[in-house]
Amino acid sequence: MSDVNENPQQPTDGQPRRTIRSFVMRAGRMTEGQQRGVEKGWPLFGLSLEQGLLDLDAVFGRQAPRTLEIGFGMGHSLLEMAQAAPEQDFIGIEVHRPGVGALLNGLLNNGLSNVRVYDCDAIEVLNRAIPDASLDRVLLFFPDPWHKKKHHKRRIVQPAFAELVRRKLKVGGVLHMATDWAHYAEHMLEVMNAAPGYRNEAADGTYIPRPEERPITKFEKRGERLGHGVWDLKFERVD
């Protein structure tokens, strides 16, 4: 699927308009484990936009710190974080079906119950499902950099995204981003430094060292061996 809405609304001038999305739906072959994750795990952990605005205490059956990760890939980091912090709740969003299946299978195999999963656009989830001032953290690790200049508008980190996330974070909550693209890191920093209601947690107003709570992925380890840098940014909601 492309990165645009395939069912565009028809405006009054009769010309179809397509909505830019923050992702590209990627099909892929499912392994046996991934298929098992979807079949057995989705009824337990899956969430849909049709459920509307969530009551998070009801969804998880308790009150707890809440983290939302946008684009969890194959789910390795989210699974590791959920295992390390059973006292916290996590919501993951990913459009790559094998990744969704892999995470769900991991939850089943490890007996975890503190994760819920969406398989749709993150902006839609934030707008329609997540209550304001309900999240302690929002994580955005290694998003698509859309490195061609003509595609920069597709980058998820934009002023409107910063404001949307700010609304969903509690005061004191943190948006934590990481990228291995230097130009995207600079873009993130520029957008977030200009966004009202945030404080950059970096002492020098730029980037922070990798926090211990962010797992290192295989992809990141490979990049480090090749001499690729990784930039972490943390911005706290202060207003």
Q: Which residue numbers are catalytic?
A: 144
200: phi then psi, degrees, rounded to nearest 5: -70, 125
Full DSSP string of 121-163: -HHHHHHHTSPTT-EEEEEEES-----SGGGGGG-S-SHHHHH
- Length of the chain in residues, anyone? 239
Alpha carbon of 222 to those of 111, 142, 169: distances in Å? 30, 14, 32
Helices 76-84 and 97-110: crossing angle in degrees, nearest 10, is 30
Burial class (CB in 10 A: 0-12, 13-18, 19+), 81: buried
Angle at 185 between CA 180 and CA 189, to 5 degrees: 155
Tell me how far apart the alpha carbons of residues 12 and 26 are, in angstroms, rounded to a whole number.
Answer: 32
Tell me how far apart the alpha carbons of residues 88 and 66 are, in angstroms, rounded to a whole number.
Answer: 6
